[in-house]
Each structure stands twice: as C-alpha cells, then as structure tokens.
Amino acid sequence: MSSKRIVLSTFGSFGDVHPYIAIALELKARGHHPVFATSEAYREKMDSAGIDFHPVRPIVPSYDQPELLADFIGRAMNPKTGIEVVADMIMPHVRDIYDDLDAATEGADLLLTHPLPFVGPIIAQKKRLSWISSVLAPASFLSVHDPIVPPQWPSLHHALRLSPWVGRAVLALAKIKVDKVLRPVYELRAELGMPRGEQPILNGQHSPTKVLALFSKLLATPQPDWPANTVVTGSFPFYDRRDFFGETEIPGGLIDFLDSGPPPIVFTLGSAAIWVADNFYRDSIEAARVLGRRALVLIGHARNMPPLPLPEGVAAFEYAPYSEVLPRACAIVHHGGAGTTGQGMRSGKPVLIVPHALDQFDNAARVERLGCGRTLPRPRYNVESAIRELRKLLENQHYSDTATRVGEIVSEEDGAGLAVAEIESVLNIR
C-alpha cells in the first residue's frame, strides 16, 4: 500500500493521547504519514516522538501552569459533575475546533477520532473523508447489556444489571440532559447545512465504517447494542514516555532503588488525578510502612513531593515509564484511568484501584471482576483502608496468580498493530 496521510484527533490527558501516539508510530513504521491533531500542550511530546503535529483549540493549561491545571482537573475529577465540566470546556470552542481540524485534515486520506472533541464526525461527513472512530474504555459504549458503573451513582450499576429496560430508561433521561449541553454541536451542523445527526456522545460518536475498541478483550467483549462494525483490538496501544523537559529515559536513581531491595508497592495517579492528590501519597507511604513494604511513589509533579527526608525504603519520582517499573512491583495502587489500567493489567501484578471520576469506576469494576484487583473509591482511601485492602491483595495468592495470567494474555496482544491493520483495511476498501 502506498503511503497515506492519516490524521489522529484526540483531546485530554496522557491516557487520551498515548494510545494514539502508539498507533501513529506504528503507522510511521509501515510507511504512512500520521498527523496528530490535539492541544498545543502536546507539541513538545509530538516533536520528541517525531510525529507531525497540528494544534487544535481550545488552549488548555500546561504543566508549567500548575495552579490553572489543578483548578481545571479538580473540577473535571468531580464524580458527580466531571463529565459536564469537560463538555463545558469544549462546547464554547466547537467552531474553533472545527476550523482547526478542518485545516489539519486538508489532503488527508483518513481521520481517526477519539470520543472527544465532538466535531470529527462533522469533518468526515462534510468532506466525505474516510473515517474510523475509536474508544478507549468499555464505558464509552453505554451498553444496556453490559452496563457501566456510573461515576455519579456507582450503586446504580446494580439496578442497571436487572434488565436492559432499566438501562434504556436511564439513557433516555441522560440524553435529555446531555442534549442541552451539546447544543453548540447541533448549531454548528445547522450552520454548515447539515442535518442534526445522532447524539454526539451516544451513537453520533461512532463511525459507520469502523469502530476501534482500544482495550483488551479481557475487559469487555462486543454486545448486541455496540456498533456492528466494532473491532476490539485486543490490547491497549501502549506508549509511556512523558517526553517533556528533555526526559527520555528512566531515571538512574529509580533503577538503583528497584535493584536495592524487594519489589515495592507502586503508587501512582496517572497524569490527571495527580492534580487532586491531596493526602494520597502521604497516606500511601504510611500504609506501606505499616505493612513492612517498600514503596515507589510516582508523584507526577513536584507539588506532590512528600516531606523530606523520605522514610527508609521509600522513593519518589515525578514520572517513570510504567512498562519499566510496574512489572517490578509487588502490587500497584492507581486511579483507574484507561491507560494506567491497561499498563497495570499488562504488568502481571495485583492492583488496588482508587477511582476518582469519569470511566475510572467502570474500569475498576471490570478489573475487580477479572479477579486480579480490588477497588477502593477515593473518598474512602486513607491509611487504615489502604492497609486493609493491600493486606488482602498481598496475602491472598489468588490475586497474584490471576494477575499473572492476565499479564500474560495482555502482553501477547498487539493493540497498535491490529488498529493499524484495520486502518489499512479501510483504506484498501475505499
């Protein structure tokens, strides 16, 4: 196949960006020309990865604006209103996003979209451009046959499992509420002379050509109400370099720490929940001390550095590639973001997931059902509860054995490779 220009559109945290970097690098390896269309905040990351970049508004706070970033993430991490906060950030800029993505797709052969920022389907339909959509977690399908754990009311999951009719009633009510938030999308379609189309968060986000479910088949399998053209790629497309501030390798001091004693418990909050860490790292260090375990805390930003000097057997670093450190843990505590969930599963180590908001509650529940982890919602996480849950995780061999099996399966999957193969199949057909 001749080289094709493929635009990858996404928006969000590292967990929303890294999978598409993995796909872009696989596209490059196969001779294609990927173009990344996302926030200006990721320009340095794309330059480091050698991927062509096209900025797309809105301009969001970057790592060198910690107070602004913490304020936004703090609002987005509210389990009750986080989804609305993210939508409210995007909706005033729908026309800007459309204009930027329209320019980025000039001369493109195909557009690959993330569920955000809502205008990808409009671009594809207006330009009659080959389009593949994607999701990063099962929650994006909002299936009534495999109901999600809603972050607003996690206990509602039990009612949703009673019957698909319950799920349909809840979705109908949610659609009425969400439609008001998404009015700018409908107005843009009308301005462009296009029909109103499907609801952008429900069926409207999915391409009629192909939908890539960029997660392991262990988390979810296709359901009757998923788009019929969905392909579960069988793994998460993995990429785990921060690529900021000239960092390209694992810190030497971290390797020394890992080599100097038994496997530690790794505590991490990904790249978004770090901005609402509060006392998470302090409590985690104390829990590890009581358990007699070493601890590696990945704090994400200097603002989260625990008081110095650190206790014996504890090391703190802002960031480290998960693929390098998680397999060397005895257990992992994380927030349940899609990317971190995938890395935790691949590591083959038992996990304690501390969901904060968004799809994290559903990801946590699915990992718990697999038998390789436990769940403890963020408001209930403290020294005592962390000790209790980690003791169960570490002392019950079932968790370790199951985690090992899960890790072996996920490690054999090739999410980026299969995603690119599906992209190429669409290009051949078109």
> Among residues 112, 129, 141, 120, which one has the least CA distance to residue 197?
120
Q: pLDDT tens-digit profile of 291-328?
A: 999 999 999 888 899 988 999 999 999 999 999 999 99
Integer Cα distance of 213 and 379 in angstroms: 30
Domain 5-235+414-429 top-level CATH class: alpha beta
In DSSP notation, 301-352 reads SGGGPPSSSPPTTEEEES---HHHHGGG-SEEEE---HHHHHHHHHHT--EE
CA distances from 307 to 162, 182, 279, 329 (A): 48, 44, 12, 23
CA dihedral 97, 100, 103, 105 (to 10 degrees): -50
- Domain extents for the chain? 5-235+414-429, 252-412
The upper half-sphere exposure of residue 370, i.e. CA atoms within 13 Å in the direction of its Cβ, equals 34
> Among residues 307, 348, 318, 388, which one has the least CA distance to residue 14?
318
**Res 84: pLDDT:** 77
Integer Cα distance of 154 and 363 in angstroms: 12
In the chain, which stretches have pLDDT less than 70?
1, 61-64, 243-249, 429-430
252-412 carries CATH number 3.30.1360.120: no
Q: Are 330 and 263 in contact (CB under 8 A)?
A: yes
pTM of the model as a whole: 0.92
Q: 50-59 in b/e burial notation, b at 16+ Cβ within 10 A?
A: ebbbbbbbbe
Q: Amino acid identity of 32?
A: H
Relative to beta strand 52-55, strand 33-38 is parallel
**Res 429: pLDDT:** 62
Q: Amino acid identity of 110?
A: L
Collapsing DSSP states into helix, strand and coil, what is residue 39? coil
Q: Are 223 and 146 in contact (CB under 8 A)?
A: yes
Q: Are 15 and 5 in contact (CB under 8 A)?
A: no
CA distances from 294 to 65, 114, 187, 284, 348 (A): 32, 38, 55, 11, 19
Integer Cα distance of 336 and 363 in angstroms: 6
CB neighbours of 316 closer than 8 A, spacing ≥ 6?
Answer: 281, 296, 297, 298, 299, 305, 306, 310
Are 5-235+414-429 and 252-412 in the same CATH fold?
yes
* Tally of CB atoms within 10 A around 201: 21
For Cα atoms 83, 90, 152, give the angle at the middle one, nearest 5 degrees: 5
